[in-house]
A = this chain, B = another copy of it.
Amino acid sequence: MTEDLEAHARKMAKKAAAREKIMATKTEERGLVIVHTGKGKGKSSAAFGMIFRCIAQDMRCAVVQFIKGGMETGERRLIAAHFADLCAFHTMGEGFTWVTQDKARDMAMAAAGWETAKRLIRDPEIRMVLLDEINIALRYGYLDLDEVLAFLRAEKPPTTHVVLTGRNAAEALVEAADLVTEMTLVKHPFRSGVKAQPGVEF
């Protein structure tokens, strides 16, 4: 047992040294373009988790919800009640498009959301801007992908993180991004009749 523990300690020391060497090469600080996509759960929750990381670090941040449903009113209420000084929260959509059934209004909402997003991203005091479910607005053609990409390339301050969530991220957005995670659906309880529940989905 003692020998086993010593062998373990040696192996771990080697791992620690290797890791330290690798991490020493990671020196750049840079505002990232981050994409959460895929059919699995967790795209908005993980983005929301990063917004709370910013709040915990006293970094100013902002959320623009393009389509209601990703981050629900509970989260919005919580941020408004406790952290309104650090995090601005804008909800532009009035619900998923198959609920509103009004494309003209949806397009106007998306355009207004994008104007708000540009203003927030341009403000160098704001260190992270979450564009929640913007991929849906891009996919439906409510926003112009080239314009969004050109803006991020030209006008995002170098230390600002921008997080874009939603299924079906455009190929060109994935190309342009620094950090892309696909939330892959392995198993989902909706399939066995469980409904959306507080704490889990909203």
Contact = CB atoms under 8 A, between A and B. Distances in A.
Interface of A: 4-5, 8-9, 12-13, 15-16, 19, 23, 25-30, 32, 34-36, 38, 40-42, 44-50, 52-57, 59, 61, 72, 74-75, 77-78, 82, 97-104, 127-128, 161, 174, 177-190, 192-202
A65 to B, nearest CB: 14
Contacts of A53: 45, 48, 72, 74-75, 198-202
A73 to B, nearest CB: 8
Nearest to A14: B98
How many monomers of this protein are in the complex? 2
15 contacts: A16-B99, A19-B98, A28-B194, A32-B200, A36-B42, A45-B45, A45-B47, A46-B46, A50-B199, A53-B75, A53-B201, A53-B202, A56-B74, A161-B197, A179-B200
